[in-house]
Structure 1
Amino acid sequence: MKTLTFKPLAVAIAACCVLAGAGVALYSAPSTAADEKDKNAVQKPALTVTTTRPQTSKLPIKLSANGNVAAWQEALIGSESNGLRLTDVRVNVGEAVRAGQVLAVFSSDTVNADLAQTKAAVLEAEANAAEASANAARARSLQTTGAISAQQISQYLTAEQTANARIASAKAQLAAQRLRLKYTQVTAPDSGVISSRSATVGSVVGAGTELFRMIRQGRLEWRAEVTAAELLNLKPGTLAEVKAANGSVLTGKVRMIAPTVDPQTRSALVYVDLPASAAGNAPFKAGMYASGAFELGTSGALTVPQQAIAVRDGFSYVFRLNADQRVSQIKVQPGRRLADRIEIVSGITADTTIVVNGAGFLNDGDLVRNVATPAAAPAAATTPAKK
C-alpha cells in the first residue's frame, strides 16, 4: 500500500481556491436578491389615477373685440336769443329730461316791451287800413259819375293796398317778437339725459352759444373694433355680450357696420346698441372702454375635463394611458372653454384614453394604476365660451 504525500505548496493553493469559491458564493446570493428587490420596486405604480375619453360637445362660437362706449346721438342745445340775460337754469348734468321740457330761462323784459310796441303798430296799421278802405270804396262808387278824376281814384285804391300791406308787415313783426319771447325759454328738443352743462345764471350770451349737451333718448352704443377679415362673420342683428371695466355686463345687438375700414389700423367699427337704463343707475357710461364678444352660433368640439390638461413650459399636455398601464405625454392645442371643460383642437382623437385626476403629477412613461373612469357630464352650449 502506497502512502499519499502532499506538497505544502499544492495544499496552500487548494485551500485558497476553496476559500475564494466560498466567498463568491456567499456574496453573490445577497446581490442577486437585492437586484430582484429593486426590480420589483420599479414595477410598482407611481400614482393612482382616473381616466376618461374626450367628449364631443356643442360649443358657442364667439368673436372677441374691444371698443369704446359712446352716445348713440348727442344733441347740442344752444341759445336762440341774442343779448339776453340768463335768469334760471332748471336742470343739471345727469338728469333725465323729456321733449319740450324747459331747461333754462332768459330775461323777457326787453322782449315784452318790444312785443307791446309791435302790437300797437298792428293796431295803428289796421286803423289806417280801415280809413284807406273807406276812401277806396267811395272812389269806386264815383268812378262812373266823373265826379273825381281817374288819377284820384287810382291813388285811393293804391292807398288801400298799401295800408293792407302795412298790416301784414306789422303782424309779421308781431310774430317775430312772439317768437323771441318763446326763445327766452330753452327747451329740450328730445328726451334724453343731460351730459354737459355750460349755462350759468346771470350770463349774457349770444345766439348759437352752447348751453347743454344731451344724450338723445339716453341711448348708448358700443363701437367695437374688428379686423377686415372678421367683418364677413357679422351682420345687423347679431347679438353681442359687452363687459365694461367696472364689471357690468349687457347684451346688445349690432345696429350697423361701418362702410369703411381704417387704412392705418385695418379695422372697422361695428355699432352695437346697448339697452337703455334709468338715469343715474346706468351701468355703462359714455367714454368707457369695454370688451365683448359677438355670438356667431355653435359648432361641435372635442372637449376634455380641465384637470386633464397639464401646463408645462408654456405648453399644454395630456397623458394617454397605454395598454401596459404606462402613460405617454402628448402635446395638445386647447381652444374654447365651456364650464370645467376645454376644447382640444389638435393632438388627440375621440378614442384616446387620457388621465384626469393626477395628470399634473405624472411624467412621460410613468406606471400608473387606473381605479375608475368618471362619466363625462354633458356640456351645455349656452354657457359663455371664448374663442
Structure 2
Amino acid sequence: MSDCPHLSTRGGRQSLEPPKTLTSSKFTSPKVTLVLVYHHFARPLLFKFDPEHIHDLTMGLLSYLAERPSLLSWVTSRLPVSDDRLRTQVMGLDFPNPVGLAAGLDKNGLAIPVWAALGFGTIELGSVTFRGQVGNARPRLFRLPENSALINRMGFNNEGSAAIAERLSLLRGSGRWPKIPVGINIGKTKIVPNNLAPKDYAGAMRVLWSHGDYFVINVSSPNTLRLRELQATEALESILKSIHEVRESRGFKPILIKIAPDLEPGRVEEIAELAHKHALDGIIATNTTVTRPGTTKNLNEAGGLSGKPLSELSLQTLRTLASISDLPIISVGGIFSAEDAYDRFAAGASLIQGYTAFVFHGPTWVCDINQGLIKLLNRDGYKNLTELRKSKAK
C-alpha cells in the first residue's frame, strides 16, 4: 500500500480522494493527519472565502514557514519520496523526482524552501516581468469545485525582476536554498508594446540570470492583452533571438518556451521548429485554455481555465509535440492522479507540473503522485520513467 493514504483506485485508475471516516484506526500517520485536516476541515473552510484572499493568506503562512528550518525539517522527514526510479536527468539538470510546481502559485519566490520540503522535484517561480505590476482588476480568480478547476485572469501580478532577484539572492546567502532545480518563468510587462517585447523579456532574464537553474519564456498566458500574438512566427523569432543573446553573454542555462493548449492547427509544429532553430532546451505544454470544456459554472468569466477540464487538451498537445520533436517536454494541465502522470510519461513527457491539483488535494499531492508512479512502474515492469517513455516511443 502507498504511504499516502488517499491514493485510491476506481475502475482501474488511481484517483485522489479524502478518507471517508475520521475514526478508522489505519488513519494514524502524520501524512494521514494532514489529509484529514485538509480535506475535512481546512479546505471546506477556505473554500468559503474569496480564492485570491485565501491564496494571499496561504502564501503569507508559507513565507513564515520558509524562514523556520526546524518546522520544515519535520515536514521533510515525512512527505518527500526518495527513490532512484523517479530520478530524472534532463536539460543537464538532476531532478530527484519528476513532479514540479507550475508557475503561478509562487510568483515572487516567497516559499521556495517549503515547496522542496513538501517533496516537489522542481519549482517554477513567476511569471516574473521586468517591471513590477499589479495585474488585472479583482476579482480575477475563481474556483469551480464541481469541475476540480480554476479560472484566473491575474495578469502577471508580481513584484518585478529586481525585487525578486534581491529576495532570491538573500535566500541563497541564508543557506536555505533547496537542492532541487529552480526555474523562473518570464512574462511580458503589460505596458510594453509587443514590438518592444524582445527587449523586455531579455531585460528580465538578465536581472534574474544568476538565480534560476532554467528559464521559461511565457508567450501563452491569455490574461495579458495581445500576449498570445507573440506566439506568431515573426514575433517569436525576435524574442528568441534576444533571449539567445543573453545566454551567449552570460553562459549556458536551459531555456524553454511555454505554449497554449488551443493553438490553431499547425502552430504547434511551427513553434517546435522555431524551438529547434533557436536551440531551445525544452517546451512546456501547456498553459491554461480560453475554451471551457466540461465546465458548468463561471462560463462567462474571462481568463484561463486550469484543472481537470484541461487534461485532454494538454495531453493532445503533448502527443503532437512528442511525435515531431525530440526536445524534452514538461507536461502540465489536468494532472490529478498518479495514473494521469503515468499517462503523460508514456506519451513522451520528461517531467510534469501541477498547480490546480495541489490546491484541491493539498500538501500530500506530490507524495501521492510519486508513490503511485512507483507502484505503476512496478506493475508494468519498468525500471524507471525513462525506460517507460522510450518503450512507448518505439
The TM-score with structure 1 as length reference comes to 0.15
Instruction: Give the strand-richer structure, 1 or 2.
Output: 1
Instruction: Give the helix-richer structure, 1 or 2.
Output: 2
The TM-score with structure 2 as length reference comes to 0.15
Please say which structure displays the higher CA radius of gyration. 1
Structure with bigger RCO (C-alpha 8 Å, 6+ apart):
1
